[in-house]
Structure 1
Amino acid sequence: MASTQMSSFTSSPAVRPVVDTKSPPATDLESGYASGASSASGSTTSLPLISLTKPHIRHLNQQLERMSVQDRLRFVKALFPNLYQSTAFGLSGLVAIDVLSKIQSEDPEAPSVDLIFLDTLYHFNETYDLVDRVRARYPNVNLHVYKPSGAETAAEFEERYGEKLYDTAAELYDWIAKVEPQQRAYAELGVAAELTGRRRSQGGQRDKIPVLEVDEETGIVKINPLVDWSFAQVRNYIAEHNVPYNVLLDQGYKSVGDWHSTSPVKEGEDERAGRWKGQAKTECGIHNKKSRYAQFLEEQQRKEQEQLAAALQKVEIEQRVEVAA
């Protein structure tokens, strides 16, 4: 879906993965970025080559680990072009929004970091209320809302894709409601680097994530600025700085996603224990090493190949019958 406001980055040069033949051997190359075709006249619309090798990423992470959240955000804001923050307005994301607003006040003329919100159409009403309160609190932050293709409401989603798809075909639901809109946002906005709210203390697959990593599928740099903060640290910041937050937090919800797959967390449980409770699942496909989007496409390709093989076999049998006749 179209973003709700025009981004201040729309005139920025988009970056794309490249192969740098002068970089270290392929086994050591993690990712590379460059602007569009360079101009001989030295146009400001082209960016210098940025190659991120594994040793370089290790070095960056060593430095970032020693920084405060504020300094991490200042650093990546200066380092990476086309930087956005992807958020579902959880506590970590809200802290990052507030810190970035304070950094922005130091230099109001500098480009701001826009927000990307994936509206699955199944968020809690309390979440939508929070989105409105965040917009009111931080009016200078552009928010881009992406919804499932061809649907503006849950009713339209169910008419197009079926009722309770999140139960009957969970992986397909993740792709339609979350991963495809995210990929669309990346393409339309020219995202090169993305801030997330992931923290090690959230448990699950997040317990060893670094501050900075490169998504193997998209080549996009992901930065987790609050990676080493605890839930208590995040909540204390929210209270101390009077940051708007989801009122469901006060009802035992420590991590809030879609209403159909989120429940309160008991004392002593992991912070994300309320997400997909009772299922062998901790991520929706957006942050998986191999996303459900890729798995879905592979499955579709496999089915198409099987159908083609069956059709060819049928034709071959029919030809044999004709020859025999």
Structure 2
Amino acid sequence: MTMTQASEYVSERPERSFSQDGESGYASPGSSTGGLPEIYFSRPHLKYLNEQLANLEPQEILRWCLISLPGLHQTTAFGLTGLVTLDMLSKINAGTKRQIDLIFLDTLYHFKETLELVDRVKKQYPSTNLHVYKPLGCETAADFEKTNGEKLWETNDNLYDYLAKVEPAQRAYSELRVKAVLTGRRRSQGGKRGDLDIIEVDDAGLVKVNPMANWSFQQVKAYVDEHNVPYNSLLDQGYKSVGDWHSTSPIKEGEDERAGRWKGTNKTECGIHNKRSKYAQFLRAQELKDKEEALVEALRNVETQQSASAVSV
């Protein structure tokens, strides 16, 4: 097969996507990700791009993204790195019609300082469109707890991640026709992010770009100070990575940036950067568990009815 034939073969398979680890997958037409795989990278091409982009500064990577990636959005929890990305984009796009919309996943458990920051960001970057997604059918934490119980992050953290973060993210990607996203992940944050590539493709075909993967916290903070970028006031109180209030704490000198997230556990990611197939497996297990519990309850009811009948006789 010639290179031209190979290219034509890939273009004839619109549902096919390649993930970073060599796996390939298909999105079903009825799934929330059915329209995603429209950007294609063969494994050798993806490797080549990562080798080239690794030598560029974030602004250059962002310019490449603007030229190369349709359906591009920025996902953000308004962390320091995401805010720097937003500021860089505002300067690159100054005077143009090209704007990158923001997607903010409001879990309903953010610090008040984070929500105050959102308002400040909207004022400083008024031309940026912000899309806020919350857990399905919920507007407040009380709504969420009414359906799922209190402290779900303690009783079933996988279910919490799915309901508060993964499902809203997938809903956003589907409704906004997202094909690629900019993230704020960096290698210096430690954990699973230590060997981060610039470009990744998840198991549903979504392209994820980490334009500031090479930068340190010091470089990010220096940019914030130099360019007067708004940031979360919690950073001045010892926080370096800010998520939900119930799973975020300040860090000590010398600890990794994300050491304050889920402290005392082995957890390092909130769910949206894990494989989607992991959550498909989780939901299947949850469904089987629910069916098993329903069966046990039905048998218990039958036994109760039989006992009642025996007594009445």
Q: Shared fold (TM-score greater than 0.5)?
A: yes
Partner of 2:224 in structure 1? 238
1:1-325 to structure 2, matched below 5 A, reads: 18-19=15-16, 50-105=39-94, 107-109=95-97, 111-216=98-203, 218-289=204-275, 293-303=279-289
Q: Secondary structure at the match of 2:102?
A: strand
Partners in 2 of 1:151 and 1:224 — Cα distance? 30
Mind listing any 5+ residue stretches in structure 1 that lack a counterpart?
Answer: 1-15, 34-48, 312-325
Backbone CA RMSD of aligned residues: 2.8
Give the 3 Å change call, closer, same or farther, for CA 29–120 of structure 1 in structure 2: closer
* Alpha-carbon displacement from aligned partner over 1:21-59 (angstroms, at most 9, x marks no partner): xx9xxx9676899xxxxxxxxxxxxxxx75311100011
Unaligned runs of 5+ in 2: 1-12, 28-37, 298-313
Q: Distance in 1 between matches of 2:39 and 2:155?
A: 44
Q: 1:154 to 1:19 in 2, by over 3 A?
A: closer
SS in 2 for 1:51: coil
- Contact 2:239 / 2:260 at 8 angstroms: preserved in 1? yes
Distance 1:29 1:172, change over 3 A: closer
Count of residue pairs brought into register by the alignment: 277
Tell me the CA shift for residue 72 of structure 1: 0.3
Whole-angstrom CA distance in 1 between matches of 2:109 and 2:79 = 15
Q: CA deviation at 1:67?
A: 1.1
Task: Give the share of equivalent positions with the same residue, in percent.
Answer: 60
Q: Distance in 1 between matches of 2:280 and 2:39?
A: 26
Letter paired with 2:112: N
**Larger helix fraction of residues:** 2
The one-letter code matched in structure 1 to 2:178 is V
Work out the CA distance in 2 between the residues paired with 1:219 and 1:144: 22
Alignment partner, residue 300 of structure 2: none
Residue 303 of structure 1: how far off its partner (Å): 3.5
How far apart are 1:296 and its partner, in Å?
A: 2.4
Q: Which of 1 and 2 has higher RCO (CA within 8 Å, sep 6+)?
A: 2
The answer to whether the 8 Å contact 2:79/2:232 transfers is: yes
Q: Which moved more, 1:293-302 or 1:151-160?
A: 293-302
Report the Cα distance in structure 2 between the residues aligned to 1:292 and 1:69, rounded to whole angstroms.
30
Equivalent residue letter for 2:215: W
TM-score normalized by structure 1?
Answer: 0.79
SS of the aligned residue for 1:238 comes to helix
Preserved contact between residue 30 and residue 53 of structure 1 (Cα < 8 Å):
no
Counterpart contact for 1:104–1:112, Cα < 8 Å: yes
Q: Secondary structure at the match of 2:104?
A: strand
What corresponds to 2:301 in structure 1? none
Task: With the length of structure 2 as denominator, give the TM-score of the two structures.
Answer: 0.81
